[in-house]
């Protein structure tokens, strides 16, 4: 994995909308949060386009992403929000262009599709973190979430322990491996394509929002059937928000689903990480080495920038 160059004060961050249209007022507030870090903001040409549930046409969203990577004045690219749209463009991106112009790329949720494809095709470390419109511009955006943006300005080792949130162990162990993953539904949607996630010998992070236990069951089963769960070296379970059963009165719990699919591999599994659709949101680099230690209930992650 190739680490992008760190930010310095005065650098310019480009904001793109590769999925759904961002909400304008939260976007403005979110960009102000970034400006407090000492950076300038450049809005992509089609940032405010709308085409139904998409932030403009596929062509325009692809062109905005390419132009941000090509522009030498843009030092980092932040996705405004998630929603839906990146699976439509993942096979249209020029991954040689991205590999030849490595820079910080930040987002989560629907952006998981881009994290996975960029890792696989370009070999660049990317960042799973809160976005300007969907997170930074809201009243519940936490100080910890804001402080973690600083990992882009200095190569620092991140440490997650129970001072941040309670962590529960499903399977004990210690594993050192790169972290990959993100939004579970997006990971599953690419299985069988040329852009599906490579989890061989890696720590797999999963998180999601609005998915009931039976839906999570189905997605984990698809990962099982495809061999992805067997390939992984360990598992991190992030935030699964708004997961309460709605359609079925009789249900398994999420914990029962996780136990059914993850414990029999005998690989370290820990849950409770505030990573995903939650506040605070602990942002992390994807693709770098990390140590998951269930005995000390810690996660230690190498720096994502150089």
Q: Is there a contact between 305 and 5 (Cβ–Cβ < 8 Å)? A: yes
0.95 exceeded by the pTM? yes
Q: State residue 266's pLDDT score.
A: 95
Strand partners, 77: 14, 105
Q: What is the DSSP letter of 270?
A: E
**Span(s) in the chain for CATH 3.40.50.10740:** 12-152
Catalytic residues: 109, 207, 277
Q: State residue 248's pLDDT score.
A: 73
**What's the CA gap between 147 and 240, in Å, rounded?**
23
Does an H or E element contain 293, and which?
Answer: strand 289-293
Tell whether omega for the bond before 149 is within 30 degrees of 0, i.e. cis. no
**What's the CA gap between 32 and 138, in Å, rounded?**
12
Cα dihedral value 23, 56, 98, 198, nearest 10 = 80
Read out DSSP for 33-80?
HHHTTT-EEEE-TTTT--BTTBSS-HHHHHHHHHHHHH-TTEEEEEE-
**CATH number attached to the domain at 158-301:** 3.50.30.60
**Span(s) in the chain for CATH 3.50.30.60:** 158-301
**What's the CA gap between 203 and 219, in Å, rounded?**
18
Q: Is there a contact between 283 and 145 (Cβ–Cβ < 8 Å)? A: yes
pLDDT values of the chain reduced to their tens digit, one per residue, 306 residues:
899 999 999 999 999 999 999 999 999 999 999 999 999 999 999 999 999 999 999 999 999 999 999 999 999 999 999 999 999 999 999 999 999 999 999 999 999 999 999 999 999 999 999 999 999 999 999 999 999 999 999 999 999 999 999 999 999 999 999 999 999 999 999 999 999 999 999 999 999 999 999 999 999 999 999 999 999 999 999 999 998 888 777 899 999 999 999 999 999 999 999 999 999 999 999 999 999 999 999 999 999 999
Q: State residue 84's pLDDT score.
A: 97
Assigned CATH topology for domain 12-152: Rossmann fold (3.40.50)
């Amino acid at each position: 994995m190739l680490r992008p160059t760190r930010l310095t004060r005065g650098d310019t961050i480009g904001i793109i909308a590769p999925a759904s249209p961002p909400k304008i007022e939260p976007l403005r507030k979110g960009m102000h949060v970034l400006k407090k870090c000492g950076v300038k903001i450049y809005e992509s040409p089609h940032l405010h386009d709308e085409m139904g549930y998409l932030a403009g046409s596929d062509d325009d969203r692809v062109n905005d992403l390419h132009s941000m990577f090509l522009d030498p004045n843009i030092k980092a690219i932040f996705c405004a929000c998630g929603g839906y749209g990146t699976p439509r463009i993942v096979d249209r991106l020029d991954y040689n262009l991205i590999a030849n112009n490595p820079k910080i790329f930040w987002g989560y949720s629907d952006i998981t599709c881009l994290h996975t494809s960029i890792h696989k095709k370009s070999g660049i470390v990317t960042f799973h973190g809160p976005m300007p419109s969907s997170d930074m511009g809201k009243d519940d955006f936490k100080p910890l979430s804001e402080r973690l943006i600083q990992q882009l300005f200095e190569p620092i080792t991140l440490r997650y322990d129970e001072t941040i949130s309670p962590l529960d162990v499903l399977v004990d162990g210690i594993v050192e491996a790169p972290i990959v993953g993100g939004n579970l539904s997006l990971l599953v949607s690419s299985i069988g394509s040329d852009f599906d996630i490579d989890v061989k010998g890696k720590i797999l992070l999963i998180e999601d929002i609005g998915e009931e236990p039976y839906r999570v069951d189905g997605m984990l089963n698809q990962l099982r059937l495809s061999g992805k769960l067997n390939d992984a070296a360990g598992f991190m379970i992030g935030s699964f928000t708004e997961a309460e059963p709605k359609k079925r009165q009789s249900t398994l719990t999420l914990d029962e689903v996780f136990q059914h699919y993850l414990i029999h591999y005998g690989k370290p599994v820990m849950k409770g990480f505030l990573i995903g659709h939650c506040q605070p949101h602990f942002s992390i680099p994807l693709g770098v080495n990390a140590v998951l230690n269930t005995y000390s209930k810690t996660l230690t992650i190498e720096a994502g920038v150089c």
